[in-house]
Structure 1
Amino acid sequence: MQHHPATSRDAAWQAAAQSLVVRQLLLAEAARQGHGGADEEGAVDALIGAEVRVPEADEATCQRWFSANRARLRSPEVWQARHILLAADPEDAALRAAAEAEAAALIAELRADPDRFPALVARSACPSRGEGGDLGLIEPGTTVPEFEAALRALRPGELHPAPVATRYGYHVVQLLRHEPGHDLPFEAVRARIAAWLREASFRAAVRQYIQVLAGRARIEGIALAAADGPLVQ
């Protein structure tokens, strides 16, 4: 049950029970077809490989998917920034206040002399101080929300006007570069689209195959979708 998170204990029990039933259906069919053995995972893989056929997506199918899903096929937005971190535990109010004040003082100093950044970054508690505070390329979702929000508020070359608070402490942040995402050409994503379509088709085919096995089996005590129509089989 711990492998099947759910909104209630009963729902987790149902999901776990269904998973065990599906596993037993596959193992029984693998044994019937001579794929059995000590390696249960290998037996199931051999069964699926023999019984489930997934066609490769042709060019026209990939083109249609490409046209309908352009928003999913953009290069990620990226920022390059450098920072100075004044570390402070979120539970230590006095240390947080001191770190904020120091960060504000550093910002004021940098506003007066932007060329001081390489010297001031030595105070940073982040390992990036060895790179002049440069964090490299940052994609959406790869840093804490407060830091990402600060980056979104800046233009290249700008220093954030106030210390940026995160759970790590207070940051002095300067945006170096910003590249918005852009649409990728079909040729650049053709292989990725084909892999996505194949994976979706494979999952659907496996679900259908399990439904066929359930339709042939006698299952008591658990509800499992079965398929016994000629179209499905």
Structure 2
Amino acid sequence: MTALALTGRSLNWRGKSGLPPARGPIHAFPGTLQSERLRSVLTQAQEAGIKGTIPEILCDPRLLQILSRQFKVPVPSLETCHRHYRDHLESFRKPERYLGRQIVLRCLKSDLQGRAEGWARAERLIAILFFDPKMFGDLVATYDSITDGSGSGRLGPVMRGELPCELDIALCGLRPGQIYPTPVATEQGIHVVMLDHILPGEVMHFASVHGRISATLRGELQVAAARRHLARLAERYTAAAAE
């Protein structure tokens, strides 16, 4: 690895073992302003732990991200943001939501016998529902269920990832009208799970994402400005070093 040392108007580089040290001739860089710009960039690279030859540092993507935040760019116009919104409409669509039902046979996780009995009972309920899904309403009224207050045993609507892992895998892996083929064990008890509907995600209104779009476009402009700045420094440094 190489190490950076700023001393006076020169930049000293200690080369790899066995190689003669190389010098970065900042003092020979064309123009005082360009020299100071290069010195500033290399100082920031050093502070970020970015090492290598000067051309390598100027091409390092980590330096690009550091410098991009320092560039002032115009705020994208409303029309520019609208155009980005129209061109990337699907990226602003909310995730699908899943609406189903469940029967929960309550039992403590530590109650191994209760869990075994609940599991066996849940398997019988699943067998009944596979034969006649319309029995769900009658069955959920008979057993201890976590309900929405109407006795329906409603589950959702929820997005993928919002439920406990076991329930999430079961519910979101079904097609509408399907019953999960095995009981599902959670902290609450043993669940029988059925999916009724998958609600399509709605596209968010422009007003709700305008700020996010503007920040994204400004970030892209800043990165582009930093990339041009580093490319110019690298080109002029290479030309100066060759003289």
* TM-score category, normalised to shorter length: 0.5 to 0.7
After superposition, the Cα gap between the structure-2 partners of 1:97 and 1:73, relative to the gap in structure 1 and judged at 3 Å, is: same
Candidates 177, 192, 202, aligned match of 1:172: 192
Match of 2:157, SS?
Answer: strand
Distance (Å, rounded) in 2 between the aligned partners of 1:200 and 1:115: 49
Secondary structure at the residue paired with 2:148?
helix
Q: Which structure 2 residues correspond to residues 84-163 of structure 1 after superposition, within 5 A?
A: 84-122=103-141, 123-128=143-148, 130-163=150-183
* Structure 2 stretches lacking a partner, 5+ long: 1-73, 218-243
Q: 1:192 corresponds to which residue? A: 208
Alpha-carbon separation, structure 2, partners of 1:63 and 1:71? 13
CA RMSD of aligned residues (A): 3.1
Change (3 A) 1:95 1:78: same
Q: What is the TM-score of this pair, normalised by structure 2?
A: 0.51
User: Which amino acid letter does the alignment assign opposite residue 191 of structure 1?
Assistant: A
Q: Aligned partner of 2:135: which letter?
A: R
- Determine helix, strand or coil for the equivalent of 2:205: helix
Unaligned runs of 5+ in 1: 1-53, 202-233
Match of 1:58 among 72, 78, 87: 78
| Identity over aligned pairs, percent | 32
Listed one character per residue, the Cα deviations across residues 94-128 of structure 1 (whole Å, up to 9, x for unaligned) are 22112111111111222233332111102033133
Who wins on radius of gyration, i.e. which is larger?
2
The residue number in structure 2 matching 1:33 is none
Q: Are the structure 2 counterparts of residues 93 and 125 from structure 1 closer, same or farther at C-alpha, using a change threshold of 3 Å?
A: same
3-state DSSP class of the match of 1:128?
A: coil
Rounded Cα–Cα distance in structure 1 between residues aligned with 2:106 and 2:187 = 9
Contact (CA 8 Å) 2:84, 2:213: kept in 1 or not?
no
Kindly indicate whether residue 97 of structure 2 is the aligned counterpart of residue 78 of structure 1: yes
Q: Which amino acid aligns with 1:195?
A: G
Shift in alpha-carbon separation, 1:199–1:106, aligned structure 2, 3 A: same
Q: Secondary structure at the match of 1:94?
A: helix
Q: Of Structure 1 and Structure 2, which has the larger fraction of its residues in strand?
A: 2
What per-residue deviation string (whole Å, max 9, x for no partner) do you get for residues 140-168 of structure 1? 22211211111222111111111112221
TM-score between both structures, scaled by the size of structure 1: 0.53
The aligned residue for residue 204 of structure 1 is none
